[in-house]
Amino acid sequence: MDLGLKDKTVVVTGGSSGIGLATVRAALAEGAKVAFCARGADRLSKVVDELIREYGGERIMAQAFSVLDPAANAAFAAQVAERFGGCDALVTNAGQGRVSTYADTSDADWREELELKFFSQLYPIRAFEAQLRATASGSITAVNSLLAYQPEPHMVCTSAARAGVQSLLKSLAVELAPEIRVNSILLGLVDSQQWQRRFDAREDQSQSRGTWFAELADRKAIPLGRLGQAEEAAKALVFLASPAASYITGARLEVSGGVSRFI
């Protein structure tokens, strides 16, 4: 199936690692021009060098900044417009989860998490809204989590924030229609830097990566028996972001190996 992304511009936040990087690669493989950001300049520039070796430099641009900086989002959007002539698809992926219970989450932690989850959507969306409206196939595709519908007590503020973000996206799907489609993917557990960090900090340092991840999948009772790969999440994101999903808006797509328990 042709996704219709050739020569379109896809912007990915948090593109230097994990799901974001896999999305950058998947969009480049579809022939899109891709602009992406992340905070860490060193890792970003290594990734850019690698991608330029694979795809050439013409369709790639990257900028180091935090999506929580509204002025930096606006400046990035202006650069994308100048270099690629506008943005057709925005993938809001940047972020991370916070592991903490009600008892050990301070007010400052709550504020930080709510700010990350909401403004990592709002600032990039605001910065690219005019460009997305101006194209015939504007789309916003957000990375969200099953925690939005299936909260976990050990991730109390991330779960609450994710539910709020899902509500925000549903409202935006109405307010930004018909020019811009707004969809999300709901992740279960996907092998990425986030899980690599948790593996690196494992209690039993003698445990192999394979065993640790297999036990995790078992403990979480994932029907497909394993964690997802970043590329599997990226394929769903790129489809929803593309003109091939032209009649899909306000939708959520689970990429979780079947681990959700709600219908």
Binding site for ligand NDP (CB under 6 A): 13-20, 37-40, 43, 66-68, 93-97, 143, 145, 187, 189-190, 192-195
* DSSP conformation letters of 92-107: E-------B-STT--H
Tell the smallest beta-carbon distance from residue 1 to ligand NDP (Å).
25
Question: What letter would DSSP give residue 227?
Answer: P
> 40 vs 57, which CB is nearer to ligand NDP?
40
Task: Using the minimum distance from each CB to ligand NDP, give the nearer residue, 180 or 255.
Answer: 255
Could you write out the three-class secondary structure of 159-206? HHHHHHHHHHHHHHHHHCCCCEEEEEEEECCEECHHHHHHHHCCCCCC
Q: Shortest Cβ distance from residue 158 to ligand NDP (Å)?
A: 8
Q: Cβ 236 to ligand NDP, closest distance in Å?
A: 12
Residue nearest ligand NDP, Cβ-based = 18
Rg (CA), the chain: 18
- Of 194 and 260, the one with the shorter C-beta distance to ligand NDP is 194
Smallest distance from ligand NDP to CB 96, Å: 5
Q: Which is nearer to ligand NDP, 135 or 159 (CB)?
A: 159
Give the DSSP H/E element, type plus range, for residue 63. Answer: strand 60-64
Q: State how far the Cα of 74 lies from the Cα of 69, in Å rounded to an integer.
A: 9
